A and B are shown apart, each in its own frame.
Chain A
């Protein structure tokens, strides 16, 4: 294993332990072990098992999906600016969720909102599948994605515009800012398998993405079908990002940044970045969530989508200037 990957994995482990131990209630090592083993103070064990553990795991899982999808999309589109938002899956998932909130359907059951989000993303994926059916289809997929994204953002804004009351409006607005707070094992057991399968589907495309480095024509002459690769990436993004949006709202930046953070250490070969980007995506989102949690004042929670962009973007800018200089 490359040293960079070892560092990322061990940082993830350390951060996960810190995420479980820190918060309004700080656990000492002994209290941490007690809570983990369900012993002693039951409130501490309850917070550990019911609040912090699902939140920590969900942040990691959602971040992993975003990171893997970002790496695969950058490779597929051969564009370092691509992120999971570019193919419209995030925005359409967001639209589905907002529609559920707007029509007040979320009161029926916890699964209605994620299901609506997955429905929106699934519809977008079907359209992208149709666009990806031909060879030489990469431009169609990106243009279709941009159109779907714009349409979804407009429809989301329309629903907020027509929102029946300020409470519904604020509910939609807060949801759109993204969060993994107050999630339970129900959300985790819904999201983790789907995102896991999504990441595996994306990882399947690695070799084809390496060949696409030489352009679509050469890739086809090597036996790669850009159309098939495109469909796998749409499916993988639907599962890994659509599911993430469904349980945690819209979270930008992680998918864009994760592969960039790895390139100086692992090189630019797109296939070699997908799984490592999942690890770094998990690391970034968990870190952003811990900051959001620790910086939040009482009664005014900071949302995850806000912290990822607010802290990540300046750091990313710094990184870009360093690379340009180097």
Chain B
């Protein structure tokens, strides 16, 4: 079942056209967006969320053009977690996760259940009453993820959720995404860490210079040839990555 479709998308921030003629569709499962810095991963997520307007092409959510939906209607269908999202004021964890229900349009009891479930899923319920600014980096990113999960949207867009986390925290966050994908949420996740992507994603889209180089099941994308072509890296005899150009 296709939930989100990109049709011949070209565009990027400002005058720049980072993405060029991107056509793809997303159903259930966890899709990883991989590729070097500047490949267009974050731009793709922002265009999916409607935060950037493509210069050409259209985004369709459940066959409805995203542009025809109001901000509130979009928020009911898609949730977005930016990379290193700011928290400007000292806020309690619970209050921050509640922001995920901002436009839920349902009764407070249902909201409460969703907030509590998201906090349990992300294991942030033990410090629900603490201030976000007092948390460690790993705890804080799980709180922000809980905010995005609390919305309970069919599609979740996540930008580099494991950035700046220690390995244990990285696996913790990816496990949460994996679990949500198994429960039926369509998750599109920009990710730099290829071993993590290989372990957790069902499907990978490899982007380079704004184009889709490869779009297939994870195992088919993680190939030695793709590493060399995309990052200029290759495996040496001992199995370590080394720089081809060096």
Contact = CB atoms under 8 A, between A and B. Distances in A.
Contacts of B147: 214
Contacts of A210: 95, 99
Contacts of A217: 46, 51, 80, 82, 85
If over half of B's interface residues share one DSSP class (helix, strand or loop), that class is named, otherwise mixed; here it is mixed
Interface of A: 75, 78, 207, 210-215, 217-218, 220-225, 267-270
Given A78-B88, A269-B91, 10 more contacts: A78-B89, A213-B87, A215-B88, A217-B82, A221-B74, A221-B79, A222-B99, A223-B103, A269-B95, A270-B89
B86 A221 contact: no
Contacts of B49: 220-221
A224 B102 CA distance: 9
B103 A222 contact: yes
B66 interface: no
The winner among A220, A223, A270 for most chain B CB atoms within 10 A is A223
A224 B81 CA distance: 15
Nearest to A225: B71
B90 interface: yes
B75 A223 contact: yes
Given A220-B51, A223-B72, A270-B89, A211 B80 contact: no
A78 B89 CA distance: 8
Interface of B: 46, 49-51, 70-72, 74-76, 78-82, 85-92, 95-96, 99-100, 102-103, 144, 147, 151
B72 to A, nearest CB: 4
A71 to B, nearest CB: 12
Given A207-B102, A269-B95, A224 B71 contact: yes
B90 A267 contact: yes
B227 to A, nearest CB: 31
A211 B99 contact: yes
The winner among B49, B87, B89, B151 for most chain A CB atoms within 10 A is B89
Nearest to A79: B88
A262 to B, nearest CB: 13
28 contacts: A78-B88, A210-B99, A212-B88, A213-B88, A213-B91, A214-B86, A215-B82, A217-B46, A218-B82, A220-B49, A220-B71, A221-B49, A221-B75, A221-B79, A222-B75, A222-B99, A222-B102, A222-B103, A223-B70, A223-B76, A223-B102, A225-B71, A267-B90, A267-B91, A267-B92, A268-B90, A268-B91, A269-B89
Contacts of B74: 221, 223
Contact of B87 (A207, A214, A222): A214
A316 B48 CA distance: 46
Contacts of A267: 90-92
Contacts of B89: 75, 78, 213, 268-270
Contacts of B46: 217
Contacts of B75: 221-223
The winner among A215, A221, A222, A269 for most chain B CB atoms within 10 A is A221
B245 to A, nearest CB: 35
B108 to A, nearest CB: 14
A279 B70 CA distance: 36
A277 to B, nearest CB: 14
A251 to B, nearest CB: 26
B14 to A, nearest CB: 11
Contacts of B50: 220
Contacts of B90: 267-268
A207 B95 CA distance: 12
Contacts of B85: 214-215, 217-218
A269 B92 CA distance: 9
A214 B150 CA distance: 15
Nearest to A216: B51
A88 B90 CA distance: 28
A75 B88 CA distance: 9
A215 B71 contact: no
Contacts of B87: 213-214
A272 B102 CA distance: 15
A209 B157 CA distance: 23
Contacts of A211: 99, 102
Given A223-B74, A267-B90, A218 B95 contact: no
A231 to B, nearest CB: 15
Nearest to B49: A221
A75 B90 CA distance: 12
